[in-house]
Structure 1
Amino acid sequence: MSATTHALTAMIASRICHDLISPLGAISNGVELLQLTMAPPVPPELQLIADSIRSANARVLFLRLAFGVAGEGQSMGQGELAALVRGWTEGGRLQIDWQPGPPCSRLRARRACLALLCLEAALPQGGEIRVRDDGGLWHLRARGRRVALPPALWEMLTEPQCSVELSPGRIQFALLRGDLLEGDGLATGKISEDEIVLNLP
């Protein structure tokens, strides 16, 4: 993926997420108004809609960071980043142990989110991912009952030369590879039947 294509992909993702957030917010406000006009308890159907909207909004915010534009000079605190990640995984089969660290650039935050999406794809039965940032290097350790990651996808993150045809559900591997090649180099780590260790700048 060329640098131009990479940048266009990020701009398209940012635009789509931006256009989705506004109607989701409007629907959420409408549901809240309905809840205020009803005597308690809130009907389970309405609560289900409210929970689904909250989950969708959290996922869009996370995906905007992972796939969207990361402007130069922009930074974010680890608390804000951890909250986005928790919203993305809420109610799912993936548990995230996000260990506190220093503020980081938005570009490094995007790399961490893309790495989480890659590890999620490798854990079809769910699992736990521990994330630590030492201020210059992300350390991610994923564990699950089963790790299913084709060698070609692993090589996209760790090897200078690789060739693989990607499905839309695996585009995060190409985007993370592009970010790493434009930065300080590819990832390092190891993979086994029940664990993946991934280190990236």
Structure 2
Amino acid sequence: MGIQVDMRVAELLCSRLCHDLVGPVGSVNHGIELLGEGMSDVMADATDMIAQSAEQAAARLEFYRVAFGLSGGGAGQMSFAEGRKLAERYIKQDVRLNWPVLADLPWQDQEKNVPKDVIKVILNLVMLGLECLPRNGTLSISQAVLPEGLGVALVVDGPKAHIKDEIKSAIAPDAREDSLTARTVQPYFMAKLAQDLGVDFEIFSPEPDCVQLAVIIPLEV
């Protein structure tokens, strides 16, 4: 059964997507304006601006398609390598992603047989981790097979990394949809996704400048 959300949540999610995409699209438009001026000395800069912004917009769309899409109703499959590439292209340039390749997982890194819902959960962890990182830092993903399923931990390290109060409220069991904002709808979605898939999910701060997110994903997802 899919996640049941009302129109307000859908609208807020679209607001979040538009917010993240407006910058790259705006740069594309500005670059086109520069090209239209016909000034040879700005042609190279304008072309670079268009290319970089178009690439960023495409990367975000691909990330959102898997992170928020239906993923073939849960029947779709992809590889960890593809999920890693989506995350690497999505994160900010001043944030480093450490997602190592492991040989002892149920699915090999390059094999396209990982349920998309597994990748979906990890990408949402990455996005939520970025919300806990106000400046530069590192996102480190570790995975291990546990008796309960696939354990995934995301450690967020960086200056003033912390769990915002609005995130705590959004992932609380009693979170109300009418209290959400465009910034908190993704944490809310992560919590509802975990609930819908039967995934154990927790977020905590073990020490200053560090946040840890952890999930246990049933292997039959």
Using the size of structure 2 for normalisation, the TM-score is 0.67
Aligned partner (choices 106, 109, 127) of residue 119 of structure 2: 109
Which secondary structure state, in structure 2, belongs to the residue aligned with residue 4 of structure 1? Answer: coil
CA distance 1:6–1:112, shift in 2 (3 Å): farther
State the match for 2:208 in structure 1.
193
Unmatched runs of 5 consecutive residues or more in structure 2:
36-42, 108-112
Which secondary structure state, in structure 2, belongs to the residue aligned with residue 52 of structure 1? Answer: helix
Aligned partner (choices 73, 80, 83) of residue 81 of structure 1: 83
State the match for 2:4 in structure 1.
4
Q: 2: distance between equivalents of 1:171 and 1:188?
A: 17
Unmatched runs of 5 consecutive residues or more in structure 1:
35-41
Question: What letter corresponds to residue 179 of structure 1 in structure 2?
Answer: L
Q: Does the 8 Å CA contact 2:80/2:114 hold for their aligned counterparts?
A: yes
Q: 2: distance between equivalents of 1:49 and 1:152?
A: 35
Q: Does the 8 Å CA contact 2:59/2:89 hold for their aligned counterparts?
A: yes
Q: Does the 8 Å CA contact 1:95/1:127 hold for their aligned counterparts?
A: yes
Deviation of 1:115 (Å)? 1.2
State the match for 2:144 in structure 1.
134
Aligned partner (choices 108, 130, 146) of residue 120 of structure 1: 130
Question: What letter corresponds to residue 139 of structure 1 in structure 2?
Answer: A
State the match for 2:194 in structure 1.
180
Aligned partner (choices 181, 185, 188) of residue 171 of structure 1: 185
Q: 1: distance between equivalents of 2:194 and 2:55?
A: 32
Q: 1: distance between equivalents of 2:57 and 2:166?
A: 31
Instruction: Answer yes or no: is 1:153 the counterpart of 2:167.
Output: yes
Q: What CA deviation, in whole Å up to 9, does each residue of 1:152-183 have, x standing for no partner?
A: 523654x5445683210221111111111112
Using the size of structure 1 for normalisation, the TM-score is 0.73
Identical amino acids, percent of aligned pairs:
17
Question: What letter corresponds to residue 174 of structure 1 in structure 2?
Answer: Y
Instruction: Answer yes or no: is 1:48 the counterpart of 2:49.
Output: yes
Q: Does the 8 Å CA contact 2:62/2:86 hold for their aligned counterparts?
A: yes
Question: What letter corresponds to residue 167 of structure 1 in structure 2?
Answer: T
Deviation of 1:93 (Å)? 2.2
Q: What CA deviation, in whole Å up to 9, does each residue of 1:32-51 have, x standing for no partner?
A: xx9xxxxxxx7122122111
Q: Does the 8 Å CA contact 2:137/2:158 hold for their aligned counterparts?
A: yes
CA RMSD of aligned residues (A): 3.3
Q: Does the 8 Å CA contact 1:120/1:126 hold for their aligned counterparts?
A: no
State the match for 2:60 in structure 1.
59
Deviation of 1:3 (Å)? 3.2
Q: 2: distance between equivalents of 1:73 and 1:81?
A: 16
